[in-house]
Structure 1
């Protein structure tokens, strides 16, 4: 939530609700209660990013969607985005475009669309099959009302809104809604590549004109935004000679993007952008072969600038060890309704996992007086792990998870039995510091030559969120 001020005629401040309104612990898994401190460290090394900003092309696509949806919102008579209902109305015009781009990618990238980041694809793919055959197709792109409502958080805008709030000139005043010069430039670039798939009215980004848009049609479309877009951008799934210049990139592709000259100053310019550039280049110089090694390297080379970063390697070790123990308990449950704690603690790797967690907890400086927000959460977790004995270690871990974990519980300890609750997802498991996202964007913008070896095997951030 960002705070901005109205024009001089109004004396009261206005609240710009550009973030989802559910607490972060509801939106994302935080099994050990360490997410807030993770974000503090992440902001030190990769400010103005999230782990979900993983493809520069989606930045370009969302800029186009923001410009196009603003046109229709204005034509429908909705211009302000200063209140929550007004932002809901604006997003109602934006959301169908996000999902139509997912459908467009499924249609045109037949060979490898599953390798591309497409939030909502599990619902959109069967919906598009029905749509493309010209028969009956489900409302809301195949989503239930709850899923469609949640897509504001789980979808592409939810993932990339940080770019439109914090990157220079992406939106006016960083409100997350009103396209700025940078977003309009990206939208113009993409619009020029769409060819026969371009909407049949001009982009005219930011000049207030509405040639080709029927004001009456837009007003009648309020409340039926999905149907309006499907009627008025019916050519969204057409191809052309430059298809690949318009689609989200496969996760394993690390090529420089053709729009890199536009993206590079946006992502790696300005004060925070310079910090992102510096850290990306440091990681590029690192010879470490895994995430742990990269954290150790950054803890050494950046500590002089920011002393708190010296704690990054030990925090990463503590968090990873905790999640490894959580994963082991989860695997011991399998599909069972409950399992004795002693059985989970007797698995072949339990001793090794608990010894590492205990060692990481002892290595964490619980007497650290450094002024760092949320550092108490790491102190609390480290102090809870007081033994390497698997039964004692798992007992402490399970109690900590139930009391301090954010989001849904994976499992709970009831007497001597471990009972499952909601299983972990890929997005809920590891605590990460935006390093993969940072270096993927740096590679796509030509800031570094290739993806650092230590990040190549990083697990992909889940894109589906149950959709």
Structure 2
């Protein structure tokens, strides 16, 4: 039954590949590597403060659900319907924390934090905080259970020791209770008995009456942190979080692995991602089940180069597209005349040669080998490289196709974040930020910093 509940809260409303895209068909390779590096996390688990806040939210949501929403015989969240019902009491608290953060910070500061749904919440606040569903359309409100805060931290709440009882993701265990207690002093919550006793109320109405999200004791604290600022959290909070995230205790192999990866990253003098990845793989070579990490550096370089080339072509073609909407066509010669495309295709050629020298065609890496083989076979001819890339995208890419060849034209088929899609991620940025917040490492390695390194909307 736990498997059913877990799937319900981690599966999107439509297939991941369709919704987010998998342009080179390498998502499973990235996921395998990510699980070796940071088991029990996700690319979106990037702010340890949200773990603290969600423990507070669970502490309040569970008894409210038991009183007003649960069936008479439901002592645990043991069914899909019960999980769905309980989440309706968590979601308003998530969004009120988004509102609290927006209210307490400037627009610019809010945009630099992990605040899913902040645009709708901003409008809701500015219009007097009276609209239903925090100003969201019904379908957006339903989807929030996957792209909101709980969806981002659900895996961690189930995986990290001491956060929830039986790793169910709902009922707080010792570490979860300690984190919830840290939040208590920074917010005001009216007693339940002061708002109508046992009367049944909608979750949104209940929390709007109880949670004084727009007020605090002095300057608001315990807010989600700025993603570009990975300073250590307060001592009591970072200590509890580190015990769950990076435990070296016997039996917690996942915690030991996460700590080992961080220590290897901190010890590396590398200034580029491929070099850092190679250093980490070498440091972990003696640990169990890490053989596949030897291909991580070359895989990442090729995958990044492939995405980079597609982005470069999209950007140039979009600007040349007479329709201006990014869904028309432009000549291949015009695209290939652009310096940025030339550079991107040359980088792709170098990365493909490296993979053919160092990589493997075994298992899930076969799709990587196919891309590298097609690019290498194209030689130095950039037109052939671009065609090989487009052919691979058409054959192996999941989700919406970005572009296609038609004679001497390059057709743009579907918008993809303005032609600036993110690289395949393997949780290393998220892990490094959590490590810095918990004091396991002093700072995020320089090689992991970048313009979109901590873009929560871009994490694949």
Q: Say whether the fold is shared (TM-score over 0.5).
A: yes
Between the aligned partners of 2:194 and 2:407, the Cα distance in structure 1 is 68
Aligned to 1:7: none
In the alignment, is residue 362 of structure 1 matched against residue 370 of structure 2? no
Aligned to 2:308: 324
Listed one character per residue, the Cα deviations across residues 270-302 of structure 1 (whole Å, up to 9, x for unaligned) are 321111111111111111123222112223322
1:430–1:293: structure 2 CA closer, same or farther, 3 Å change rule? same
1:165–1:23: structure 2 CA closer, same or farther, 3 Å change rule? farther
Q: What is the CA-CA distance between 1:226 and the residue it aligns to?
A: 1.8
Listed one character per residue, the Cα deviations across residues 349-380 of structure 1 (whole Å, up to 9, x for unaligned) are 333322321332233249966865x2222123
Listed one character per residue, the Cα deviations across residues 245-288 of structure 1 (whole Å, up to 9, x for unaligned) are x1011112222111111111011013211111111111111111
1:26–1:71: structure 2 CA closer, same or farther, 3 Å change rule? farther
Contact 1:381-1:400 within 8 A present in 2 as well: yes
1:367–1:451: structure 2 CA closer, same or farther, 3 Å change rule? closer
Listed one character per residue, the Cα deviations across residues 160-182 of structure 1 (whole Å, up to 9, x for unaligned) are 11111211122222222233222
Which of 105, 110, 113 is 1:109 aligned to? Answer: 105
Between the aligned partners of 1:66 and 1:76, the Cα distance in structure 2 is 15
Which of 290, 294, 298 is 1:314 aligned to? Answer: 298
In the alignment, is residue 442 of structure 1 matched against residue 432 of structure 2? no
TM-score normalised according to structure 2 size: 0.87
Contact 1:117-1:251 within 8 A present in 2 as well: yes
Between the aligned partners of 2:436 and 2:339, the Cα distance in structure 1 is 41
Between the aligned partners of 1:368 and 1:314, the Cα distance in structure 2 is 7
Listed one character per residue, the Cα deviations across residues 384-437 of structure 1 (whole Å, up to 9, x for unaligned) are 323142221111212222332123322233333222233333994211221111
In the alignment, is residue 255 of structure 1 matched against residue 237 of structure 2? no
Contact 2:230-2:443 within 8 A present in 1 as well: yes
Q: Tell me, what secondary structure is at the counterpart of 2:398?
A: coil
Between the aligned partners of 2:351 and 2:124, the Cα distance in structure 1 is 48
Contact 1:67-1:184 within 8 A present in 2 as well: yes
Q: Tell me, what secondary structure is at the counterpart of 2:10?
A: coil
Aligned to 1:47: 39
Aligned length: 434
Q: What is the CA-CA distance between 1:140 and the residue it aligns to?
A: 1.2
Which of 348, 352, 364 is 2:339 aligned to? Answer: 348
Between the aligned partners of 2:174 and 2:400, the Cα distance in structure 1 is 40
Query: What stretches of structure 2 of length at least 5 have no aligned partner?
Result: 322-327
In the alignment, is residue 90 of structure 1 matched against residue 81 of structure 2? no
Q: What is the CA-CA distance between 1:229 and the residue it aligns to?
A: 1.7
Counterpart mapping for 1:64-463 below 5 A:
64-78=56-70, 79=74, 80-110=76-106, 112-131=109-128, 137-191=130-184, 193-194=185-186, 197-201=187-191, 216-217=198-199, 220-221=200-201, 224-233=202-211, 235-241=212-218, 243-244=220-221, 246-258=222-234, 259-269=237-247, 270-305=252-287, 306-335=290-319, 336=321, 337-365=328-356, 372=363, 374-385=364-375, 386-387=377-378, 388-425=380-417, 428-457=421-450, 459-463=452-456
Q: What is the CA-CA distance between 1:82 and the residue it aligns to?
A: 2.4
Q: What is the CA-CA distance between 1:461 and the residue it aligns to?
A: 4.2
Between the aligned partners of 2:312 and 2:449, the Cα distance in structure 1 is 24
Q: Tell me, what secondary structure is at the counterpart of 1:243?
A: coil
TM-score normalised according to structure 1 size: 0.86
Listed one character per residue, the Cα deviations across residues 213-244 of structure 1 (whole Å, up to 9, x for unaligned) are 86633xx32xx3223321232x1110323523
CA RMSD of aligned residues (A): 2.5
Contact 1:436-1:458 within 8 A present in 2 as well: no
Between the aligned partners of 1:377 and 1:81, the Cα distance in structure 2 is 40
Q: Tell me, what secondary structure is at the counterpart of 1:339?
A: strand
Listed one character per residue, the Cα deviations across residues 164-215 of structure 1 (whole Å, up to 9, x for unaligned) are 1211122222222233222222112211x22xx32123xxxxxxxx866866
1:199–1:297: structure 2 CA closer, same or farther, 3 Å change rule? same
Contact 1:171-1:177 within 8 A present in 2 as well: yes
Between the aligned partners of 1:216 and 1:298, the Cα distance in structure 2 is 56
Q: Tell me, what secondary structure is at the counterpart of 1:216?
A: coil
Between the aligned partners of 1:198 and 1:464, the Cα distance in structure 2 is 30
Q: What is the CA-CA distance between 1:118 and the residue it aligns to?
A: 0.8
1:213–1:174: structure 2 CA closer, same or farther, 3 Å change rule? farther
Query: What stretches of structure 1 of length at least 5 have no aligned partner?
Result: 5-13, 202-209
Aligned to 1:18: 9
Between the aligned partners of 2:311 and 2:384, the Cα distance in structure 1 is 17
Aligned to 1:32: 24
Contact 1:75-1:215 within 8 A present in 2 as well: no
Aligned to 2:324: none
Q: What is the CA-CA distance between 1:17 and the residue it aligns to?
A: 3.2
